[in-house]
Amino acid sequence: MMPAVDSLETQHMETAEACIRLGQTAQQRGDAERAALWFARAVAHAPDSAPHHVHLGDLFHEAGQLKEAALCYEEALRLDPAQAEVANRMANALSRAGYTGDAIGLYLQALKADPEHADAYANLGNLLRRLGHFQEAVACCREALRLAPDDAEAWNNLGNAFTDADRFGEAVASYAEAAARRPDAPIPFANLANALRLAGRLEDAREAAGRALKLAPGDPLVEAVAEACTKGDC
C-alpha cells in the first residue's frame, strides 16, 4: 500500500512518481505554488518524461503564466513530437498570450498528428474567427462538429462564426442546435436571441431572450441581449 501523502513528504521519497502525486494533491487543495514545486521536482528527477513537463505546463497555464506553460509544452513536444493534445495545449497558451501565428501552426501540427482531434479544430476555428477569417473558421467548426456532432459548445462556436460573418440565418440554426443540446445553459439561448434579433425576427428573439433570463437572472450579458431585443435594435 502506498503511504499517505503526508508520510511521503515526511520520508522525502524523492521519486518522480511520488512528486507527481504530491503535486496533484496540492493542486486539488488549491495550493498552486506547492504543486508547482512538486511538479518541477518530478521534472528534475525524470527530465525525459514528457508527461511530467505537461503537468507543470498545465499548472502554469491555469495560473495564467502562459509563456512558462508554452515552454513546458514545447519541451514535452521535443520529447514526444506526436502528441496532438500537447500541441493543442501549447497552441492554446500561445493564443492566449497573443502569439496567434505560432498558435495556428501548432493547431495544424496537432491535426497532422491526429486528424480526428475535435478540440484542435474547435480551438483553431475560434482563433481564426477572432482574427477575422470567418469562412475558414466556419470550416474548422464544421470539422469539429463532424467529429463531435452532439457537442453543444461546438454548435455554439459555429453560430459565433456565422454571426461574425453576417450569416444570421445559419447562426440561428446553429444556436438552436446548441440550445437543444444544453437546455439548462443560458449562453446558447442568449446567442440565439441575438442572432434572431439581427435576422429581424424580433418576436422569436424576445422569446429566446426570456429563456436565457430565466436560466441566468441578473447576468449582465443576458440582460444586455434581452434589452436589445426589447428595444428592437437590429
Q: Which pLDDT tens digit goes with each residue over 123-142? A: 999 999 999 999 999 999 99
- How many Cα neighbours within 13 Å face the side chain of 139? 5
pLDDT value, residue 83? 95
Q: Which pLDDT tens digit goes with each residue over 64-119? A: 989 999 999 999 999 999 999 999 999 999 999 999 999 999 999 999 999 999 99
Mean pLDDT score of the chain, rounded to an integer? Answer: 89
**4 phi/psi in degrees, rounded to 5:** -65, 160
For residues 4 and 21, is the Cβ–Cβ distance under 8 A? no
Q: Which pLDDT tens digit goes with each residue over 153-164? A: 999 999 999 999
pLDDT at 229 over 70: yes
pLDDT value, residue 40? 74
18 vs 197: which has the higher pLDDT: 197
Q: How many residues does the chain have?
A: 234
pLDDT value, residue 7? 46
pLDDT value, residue 82? 92
pLDDT value, residue 18? 74
pLDDT at 5 over 70: no
**Taking the model in full, what pTM does it have?**
0.83
**Domains of the chain as residue ranges with CATH:** 7-115 (1.25.40.10), 134-234 (1.25.40.10)
pLDDT at 8 over 60: no
Report residue 197 as a C-alpha cell.
434579433
